[in-house]
Amino acid sequence: MLSTIIFIIIAGGALAYAGYQFNLVRQNILLASDEAIEGPSGERWKNMLLVAFGQKKMFKKIIPAVLHFILYAAFVITQIELIEIFIDGVLHKHRFFASSLGGFYTFMISFIEVLSLLAFVATVIFLVRRNALYIPRFSGPEMRGWPKLDANLILIFELILLVCIFTMNGTDIVLQNRGEAYYPATGSFAVSGWLGPLVFGNFSTATLVVLERIGWWGHLLMVLWFLNYLPSSKHLHILLAFPNTYFSRLEPKGEMDNMPAIMKEVKSMMDPDAPMDEADMSEELPEFGANDIFGLNWLDTLGAYSCTQCGRCTEQCPANITGKKLSPRKIVMDVRTRTEEVARNIRSGNEEFCKDPAQPLSKDNYDDGKTLWDYISKEEIHACTTCNACVEACPVLINPLRPILAMRRHEILTESAGPADWLPLFNSIENAQAAWSMGKSRKEWVDQ
Amino acid sequence: MTVKTMATYAAEDKKPEILFWVGCAGSFDDRAQKVTRAFAEILNKAGIEFAILGDEEACTGDPARRAGNEFLYQMVALQNIEVLNMYEVQKIVTACPHCFNTIKNEYPKLGGNYEVVHHTQLLQQLIDNGRIKLTDTDSFKGRRITYHDSCYLGRANGIYEAPRSVLESLDGQLVEMKRSKRNGLCCGAGGAQMWKEDEPGDKRINMERADEALATGASIVAVNCPFCLTMLTDGVTAREKQEDVMVLDLSELIIQQM
Question: How many angstroms separate the CA atoms of A159 and A232, rounded?
Answer: 20
Q: What is the CATH number of the domain that holds A394?
A: 1.10.1060
Task: Tell me the average confidence (pLDDT) per consecutive run of 10 residues in chain A, 448 residues long.
Answer: 88 96 97 92 95 92 93 88 90 87 90 94 95 91 93 94 94 90 87 92 91 93 94 95 96 96 92 65 75 96 97 97 97 98 94 91 93 97 98 97 98 95 96 89 90
Write out the residue range of the structural domain in which residue A184 sits.
Answer: 2-30+61-239
Q: What is the CATH number of the domain that holds B209?
A: 3.40.50
What is the complex's ipTM, to 2 decimals?
0.95
Residues A156 and A297 reside in one and the same domain: no
Write out the residue range of the structural domain in which residue B34 sits.
Answer: 4-123
Mean pLDDT value of segment B236-248 = 97
Residues B115 and B169 reside in one and the same domain: no
DSSP state of A287: P
Asked whether the beta carbons of residue A389 and residue B183 sit closer than 8 angstroms, the reply is yes
Question: How many angstroms separate the CA atoms of A314 and A390, rounded?
Answer: 7
Residues B190 and B84 reside in one and the same domain: no
Instruction: Look at residue A281 and tell me if it is in a domain.
Output: no
Q: Which residues of A105-143 are buried (b: 16+ CB within 10 A; e: fewer)?
A: bbebbbbbbebbbbbbebbebbbebbeeeeeebbebebb
From B129's Cα to the closest Cα of chain A, the distance in A is: 27
pLDDT for the residue A297: 96
Q: pLDDT tens digit string along B97-130?
A: 999 999 999 999 999 999 999 999 999 999 999 9
Instruction: Look at residue B164 and tell me if it is in a domain.
Output: yes
Asked if the model's pLDDT at residue B223 lies above 70, the reply is yes
Residues B112 and B143 reside in one and the same domain: no
Count, in order, helices (H) and strands (E) of chain A: 18, 0
Mean pLDDT for chain A? Answer: 92
Mean pLDDT for chain B? Answer: 96
Residues A297 and A234 reside in one and the same domain: no
pLDDT for the residue B137: 64
Helix axes B226-238, B30-45, angle to 10 degrees: 130
Q: Are B250 and B162 within 8 A, CB to CB?
A: no
pLDDT for the residue A181: 82
Q: pLDDT tens digit string along B27-61?
A: 999 999 999 999 999 999 999 999 999 999 999 99
- What length is written for chain B? 258
Residues B34 and B94 reside in one and the same domain: yes
pLDDT for the residue A280: 54
Residues B62 and B90 reside in one and the same domain: yes
Q: How many domains does chain A have?
A: 2
Helix axes A2-29, A205-229, angle to 10 degrees: 20
Instruction: Look at residue A425 and tell me if it is in a domain.
Output: no
Q: pLDDT tens digit string along A30-77?
A: 999 999 998 899 999 999 999 999 999 999 999 999 999 999 999 888
Cβ-based contacts of B65 with chain A (< 8 Å):
256
Residues B139 and B252 reside in one and the same domain: yes
Q: Are B223 and B184 within 8 A, CB to CB?
A: no
Q: pLDDT tens digit string along B127-151?
A: 999 999 988 767 788 899 999 999 9
Instruction: Look at residue A422 and tell me if it is in a domain.
Output: no
Instruction: Look at residue A36 and tell me if it is in a domain.
Output: no
Question: Which of A164, A185, A85 shows the shortest CA–CA distance to A119?
Answer: A164
Choose the mutation target among B44, B60, B81, B196 for the interface with A, i.e. most A CBs under 10 Å: B196
From B189's Cα to the closest Cα of chain A, the distance in A is: 6
pTM of the model: 0.94
From A291's Cα to the closest Cα of chain B, the distance in A is: 13
Instruction: Look at residue A41 and tell me if it is in a domain.
Output: no
Residues B100 and B212 reside in one and the same domain: no
Q: pLDDT tens digit string along A319-332?
A: 999 999 999 999 99
Strands B91-94 and B144-147: unpaired
Residues A389 and A324 reside in one and the same domain: yes
Asked if the model's pLDDT at residue B226 lies above 90, the reply is yes
- SS3 state of residue A108: helix
Q: Which of B66, B93, B123 is the last residue of a domain?
A: B123
Residues B12 and B116 reside in one and the same domain: yes
Report the percent of chain A where pLDDT is more than 70: 97
Nearest chain B alpha carbon to A442: B27
Residues A306 and A230 reside in one and the same domain: no
Q: What is the CATH number of the domain that holds B114?
A: 3.40.50.1860
Cβ-based contacts of B19 with chain A (< 8 Å):
none
Q: Are B51 and B4 within 8 A, CB to CB?
A: yes
Residues B65 and B152 reside in one and the same domain: no
Cβ-based contacts of A321 with chain B (< 8 Å):
185, 205, 208
Cβ-based contacts of A60 with chain B (< 8 Å):
183
Asked whether the beta carbons of residue B71 and residue A405 sit closer than 8 angstroms, the reply is no
Question: How many angstroms separate the CA atoms of A445 and A39, rounded?
Answer: 43
Nearest chain A alpha carbon to B1: A446
Instruction: Look at residue A325 and tell me if it is in a domain.
Output: yes
Q: Which of B88, B123, B158 is the last residue of a domain?
A: B123
Q: How many domains does chain B have?
A: 2
Asked whether the beta carbons of residue A435 and residue B199 sit closer than 8 angstroms, the reply is no
Residues A185 and A330 reside in one and the same domain: no
Rg (CA), chain B: 18
Residues A346 and A218 reside in one and the same domain: no
Instruction: Look at residue B130 and tell me if it is in a domain.
Output: no
Mean pLDDT value of segment B213-222 = 97
Q: What is the 3-state secondary structure (H, E, C) of chain B?
A: CCCEEHHHHHHCCCCCCEEEECHHHHHHCHHHHHHHHHHHHHHHHCCCCEEECHHHCCCCCHHHHHHCCHHHHHHHHHHHHHHHHHCCCCEEEECCHHHHHHHHHHCHHHCCCCEEEEHHHHHHHHHHCCCCCCCCHHHHCCCEEEECCCCCCCCCCCCCHHHHHHHHCCCCEEECCCCCHHHCCCCCCCCCHHHCCCCCCCCCHHHHHHHHHHHCCCCEEEECCHHHHHHHHHHHHHCCCCCCCEEEEHHHHHHHCC
pLDDT for the residue B142: 85
Q: B118 - beta bridge partners?
A: B94
Nearest chain A alpha carbon to B81: A267
Residues A84 and A201 reside in one and the same domain: yes
pLDDT for the residue A1: 76
Q: Are A298 and A35 within 8 A, CB to CB?
A: yes
Asked whether the beta carbons of residue B183 and residue A392 sit closer than 8 angstroms, the reply is yes
Residues B23 and B114 reside in one and the same domain: yes
Q: Which of B97, B123, B149 is the last residue of a domain?
A: B123
Cβ-based contacts of A445 with chain B (< 8 Å):
22, 26-27, 33, 36-37
Instruction: Look at residue B75 and tell me if it is in a domain.
Output: yes
Instruction: Look at residue B129 and tell me if it is in a domain.
Output: no
Residues B13 and B108 reside in one and the same domain: yes
